[in-house]
């Protein structure tokens, strides 16, 4: 997986990987958009699924940007199953697409198929989520720093607790994303990092389980959390959708979300902002899904044999409840 250290040393090796794209053109196994621009670039994109509002916005962004760039897009929805993504990538290789991009459902299990893409001289661009494979097997990652999002969630929780006048011990429930997915692993890691460093004595995660990044999962797991831990002070949900499902469970249990249980989520989709403007979510750490335009630029550069950075990070903000009403009309997703 990419981390801060290898991000800083990222430039090394990029030329070699980008050279792979040049090879793809040289041996004629792939369409050529250079020198006359006769052929459109064919991009194979293997999406995670449609588990959340974030994912819908991401898919829309990829499709619209590919169209805008004049690329031929082969789009596949893996329905949150890594094996479906592997089949899609194999089919892209068989079709000899120019570039493959995908957002890996989980971090493990990609070595074989990435080696097949490399052997076929088709460059692979990761988008949104990373993998734990050797970095020589993909060109770059276009996406967020999920560990930092976890840290930011912990830091914004400090402000939320202060505003709520909460004193003493803090019992935290955590709704994790899909088990084994980069955002689930890294958001939990970043949050714990701040908690261990600065709140060892007062914060405690009393319950933590996956809700698979879905609204239904968030609701179901929160119901169980409330039964086993009726005195939860805080919910940290790894995405808005799970937080929104949890809000339904909290209300059904006769509690007030945002007051009896303080809630911090990640993403910043419109539905999350609506809940925050209604006082039901206390703070949101933004994770921007509008990766399409950057991805198309990278695909074009890579296809032309140009250099790109190893990790093209997304710019994001954090929002407290009192900013929600003003920010809502300008939200783009």
The footprint of ligand AHR (CB under 6 A) covers 51-52, 54-55, 128-129, 183, 213, 239, 241, 266-267, 287
C-beta of 128 vs 176, nearer to ligand AHR = 128
CB of 99 to ligand AHR, least distance (A): 20
- Sheet containing strand 99-102, edge to edge, reads 72-77, 42-47, 99-102, 124-127, 140-143, 311-313
C-beta of 243 vs 258, nearer to ligand AHR = 243
Structure tokens at 294: 């950057």
Q: Is 198 helix (H, G, I), strand (E, B) or coil?
A: helix
Residue 189: other Cβ atoms inside 10 A? 13
C-beta of 52 vs 220, nearer to ligand AHR = 52
What is the distance between the alpha carbons of residues 235 and 231, in angstroms, rounded to a whole number?
Answer: 11
CB of 273 to ligand AHR, least distance (A): 14
* β-strand partners of 175: 209, 237
C-beta of 14 vs 276, nearer to ligand AHR = 276
CB of 156 to ligand AHR, least distance (A): 16
C-beta of 150 vs 258, nearer to ligand AHR = 150
- Angle, helices 182-198 vs 146-164, to 10°: value is 50
DSSP 5-21: HHHHTTTTTHHHHHHHH
Burial of 197 (0-12, 13-18, 19+ CB in 10 A): exposed
CB of 166 to ligand AHR, least distance (A): 26
CB of 144 to ligand AHR, least distance (A): 7
C-beta of 153 vs 160, nearer to ligand AHR = 153
**Regarding beta strands 283-286 and 318-320, do their DSSP bridges make them parallel or antiparallel, or are they unpaired?**
antiparallel
C-beta of 215 vs 300, nearer to ligand AHR = 215
CB of 267 to ligand AHR, least distance (A): 5
CB of 313 to ligand AHR, least distance (A): 14
Residue 48: other Cβ atoms inside 10 A? 28
What is the distance between the alpha carbons of residues 240 and 71, in angstroms, rounded to a whole number?
Answer: 32
């Amino acid at each position: 997986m990419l981390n801060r250290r290898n991000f800083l040393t990222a430039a090394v090796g990029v030329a070699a990987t980008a050279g792979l794209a040049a090879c793809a053109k040289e041996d004629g196994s792939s369409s050529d958009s250079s020198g006359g621009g006769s052929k459109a670039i064919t991009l194979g994109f293997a999406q995670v699924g449609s588990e959340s509002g974030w994912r819908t916005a991401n898919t829309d962004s990829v499709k619209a940007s590919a169209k805008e760039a004049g690329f031929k897009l082969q789009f596949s929805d893996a329905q949150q199953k890594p094996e479906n993504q592997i089949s899609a990538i194999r089919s892209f290789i068989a079709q000899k697409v120019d570039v493959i991009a995908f957002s890996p459902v989980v971090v493990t299990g990609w070595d074989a198929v990435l080696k097949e893409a490399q052997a076929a001289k088709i460059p692979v661009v990761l988008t949104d989520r990373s993998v734990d494979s050797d970095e020589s097997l993909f060109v770059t990652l276009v996406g967020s720093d999920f560990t930092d999002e976890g840290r930011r969630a912990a830091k914004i929780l400090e402000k939320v607790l202060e505003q709520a006048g909460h004193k003493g011990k803090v019992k935290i429930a955590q709704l994790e994303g899909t088990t084994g997915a980069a955002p689930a692993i890294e958001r939990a890691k970043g949050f714990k990092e701040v908690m261990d460093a600065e709140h060892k004595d007062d914060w405690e995660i009393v319950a933590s389980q996956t809700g698979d990044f879905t609204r239904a999962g968030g609701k179901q797991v929160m119901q169980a959390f409330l039964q086993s831990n009726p005195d939860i002070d805080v919910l940290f949900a790894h995405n808005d959708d799970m937080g929104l499902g949890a809000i339904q469970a909290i209300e059904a249990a006769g509690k007030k979300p945002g007051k009896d249980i303080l809630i911090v989520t990640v993403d910043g989709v419109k539905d999350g902002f609506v809940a925050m403007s209604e006082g039901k979510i206390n703070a949101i750490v933004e994770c921007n899904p509008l990766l399409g335009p950057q991805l198309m630029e990278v695909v074009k550069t890579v296809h032309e044999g140009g250099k790109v950075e190893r990790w093209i990070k997304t710019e994001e903000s954090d929002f407290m409840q009192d900013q929600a009403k003003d920010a809502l009309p300008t939200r783009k997703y």
